[in-house]
Amino acid sequence: MKLMVVGGGGREHAIIKKLKENKDIEIIYALPGNGGIAADAKCIDISATDIEGITAFAEEKGIDYAVVAPDDPLVLGCVDELEKKGIPCFGPKANAAIIEGSKVFSKNLMKKYGIPTAEYETFSDMEAALSYLETAPVPTVIKADGLALGKGVIIAMTRDEAMQAVKEMMGDHKFGKSGENIVIEEFLTGPEVSVLSFTDGKTVVPMVSSMDHKRAGDNDTGLNTGGMGTIAPNPYYTAEVAERCMKEIFLPTINAMNAEGRTFKGCLYFGLMITEKGPKVIEYNCRFGDPETQVVLPLLESDLFTIMKAVTEGTLAETEVKFSSKNACCVIMASEGYPVSYKKGFPMNIPADTAADVYVAGAKLDGDVLLTNGGRVLGVTAVEDTLRDAIASAYNKVETISFENAYYRHDIGARALKAGEAE
């Protein structure tokens, strides 16, 4: 079997490493991959958003199965184009990827089908949004409708901040077309849980839950990032919460998408907040989370490729999806200054016995020397019986890796540890 994975970050590295456990797979191409992924897949210099290039490559190489991992190609219809050429894919078609691609769409979907989420209003006119804000309760949350690299969400503590955010999105076009429409929503509080799920449009199988750490600094200070670390399972996701989520959120979402003629197949990511009134949806993603994948897939005991094919073929109900009951922790090593400005191009030293647990996000090869090439450089994952041990072991591994200007948070998992022990 010849596989192709579209994307080039830590998430894709984790997917590729897991896929490689299946011995029927002869080769995996990564488009574009990165210098670190090159140790596990053949990297091809085609951008993840070059849908024509990707499709042409897949046809030319006779690819048997494609995994489209990032949001942009999914929203752009990469799966639709590959399937037109007869190439089976893991990932939703564009008409279903809209669940992440448009927040106006996903909020309206939740309202129409009674799926619990923050109260909201949508706006396509800046003056109307500003006049609504004159009396809206604060804090409030302003969201650009479209994809904005995870930066399109502003938590405004004051009315002024909220108005400023609206002016930047709708007046100054800070996020381009993504901000032409906006959502203004109720500010919710409570612990956040990420639940990735496999779904073939009929059955939904949640994966082990996880917790992201989005802020750049220790104790959740500093700017929002793409994610500085994750742990799994998430102690706030109790059996009782899981049961409610299945009944009130997961199944209703799959059914709603079917009812809209937008059957979702692939990995549907539920970003949840456990509020006093129960679990509510903060966001949907149409793909595996990054860096959630780097803790979730190492805990998967079943064969990933078998599950992916079952999702494509609609046979998920008959397929085993088994997770270990262990704990995982992933610490992201970034370049100092991320997410604002940072230097790159520094040689990285990763000892051979750590490399198996390293998922490279931003690196390039200079001959056979691996150089840093991004804000988030890599993630290191440890799996142990307890969360406490997983955290300690992940940090031990981090200390064996070095590159100039390496930066990481020191408290990944600390909050989960406290919550877990309080129970």
Q: Which stretch binds ligand GLY (CB under 6 A): 60-68, 82-90, 288-296, 335-343?
A: 288-296
Residues 207-246 binding ligand GLY (CB under 6 A) are 212, 227
- Nearer Cβ to ligand AMP (220/385): 220
- Nearer Cβ to ligand AMP (30/231): 231
Q: Which stretch binds ligand AMP (CB under 6 A): 24-32, 156-164, 186-194, 325-333?
A: 186-194
Compute the 3-state secondary structure of the chain and give helix, strand, coil in percent, each to the nearest 5. 35, 30, 35
Whether the CA torsion 209, 230, 323, 422 is positive or negative: it is negative
DSSP 331-382: EEEEETTTTT------B-B--HHHHTTEEESSEEEETTEEEE-SSEEEEEEE
| 111: partner contacted, choices ligand GLY, ligand AMP, none (Cβ within 5-8 A by kind) | none
Q: How far is the CB of 149 from ligand AMP (least distance, A)?
A: 10
- Nearer Cβ to ligand GLY (10/310): 10
Q: How far is the CB of 346 from ligand AMP (least distance, A)?
A: 30
Q: Which stretch binds ligand GLY (CB under 6 A): 127-135, 251-259, 283-291, 369-377?
A: 283-291
318: its two tokens: 């008959």
Q: Report if residue 289 touches ligand GLY, rule: CB under 6 A.
A: yes
Buried/exposed code over 266-279 (b: 16+ C-beta within 10 A; e: otherwise):
bbbbbbbbbeeeeb
Interface size with ligand AMP, residues (CB under 6 A): 14
Q: Which helix (H) or strand (E) holds 204?
A: strand 204-206
Helix axes 304-313, 10-19, angle to 10 degrees: 100
| 413: partner contacted, choices ligand AMP, ligand GLY, none (Cβ within 5-8 A by kind) | none
302: its two tokens: 């079943």
404: its two tokens: 């100039």
Q: Which stretch binds ligand AMP (CB under 6 A): 26-34, 147-155, 305-313, 403-411?
A: 147-155
- Nearer Cβ to ligand AMP (169/188): 188
Interface size with ligand GLY, residues (CB under 6 A): 7
Among positions 182, 188, 308, 350, the unique one binding ligand AMP when judged by CB under 6 A? 188
Read off the DSSP letter of residue 177.
G
Residues 106-145 binding ligand AMP (CB under 6 A) are 118, 141
Quick check: 20 and 82 in contact, CB under 8 A? no
Write down the residue that tokens 């990995």 correspond to: 267
Buried/exposed code over 120-156 (b: 16+ C-beta within 10 A; e: otherwise):
bebbeebeebbeebeebeeebbbbbbbbbebbbbbeb
Q: How far apart are CA 366 and CA 21, in angstroms?
A: 28
Q: How far apart are CA 27 and CA 40, in angstroms?
A: 9
- Nearer Cβ to ligand AMP (344/409): 409
Q: Report if residue 12 touches ligand GLY, rule: CB under 6 A.
A: no
Quick check: 216 and 228 in contact, CB under 8 A? yes
Distance in Å from the first CA to the final CA of the chain: 47
Q: Which stretch binds ligand GLY (CB under 6 A): 169-177, 200-208, 259-267, 285-293?
A: 285-293
Q: Which stretch binds ligand AMP (CB under 6 A): 7-15, 33-41, 73-81, 180-188?
A: 180-188
| 50: partner contacted, choices ligand GLY, ligand AMP, none (Cβ within 5-8 A by kind) | none
Q: Which stretch binds ligand GLY (CB under 6 A): 82-90, 114-122, 173-181, 287-295?
A: 287-295
**Residues 6+ away with beta carbon under 8 Å from 261:** 95
280: its two tokens: 């509510």
With vertex at residue 223, the alpha carbon angle to CA 184 and CA 36, rounded to the nearest 5 degrees, is 115
How many CB atoms are located within 10 Å of the residue 21 CB?
A: 12
Among positions 155, 242, 246, 414, the unique one binding ligand AMP when judged by CB under 6 A? 155
Q: Binding marks (x or -) toward ligand GLY, 145..164, rule CB under 6 A?
A: -----x--------------
Q: What does the binding site for ligand GLY look like in residue numbers (CB under 6 A)?
A: 150, 212, 227, 285, 289-290, 292
Q: What does the binding site for ligand AMP look like in residue numbers (CB under 6 A)?
A: 118, 141, 150, 153, 155, 185-188, 192, 214, 271, 282-283
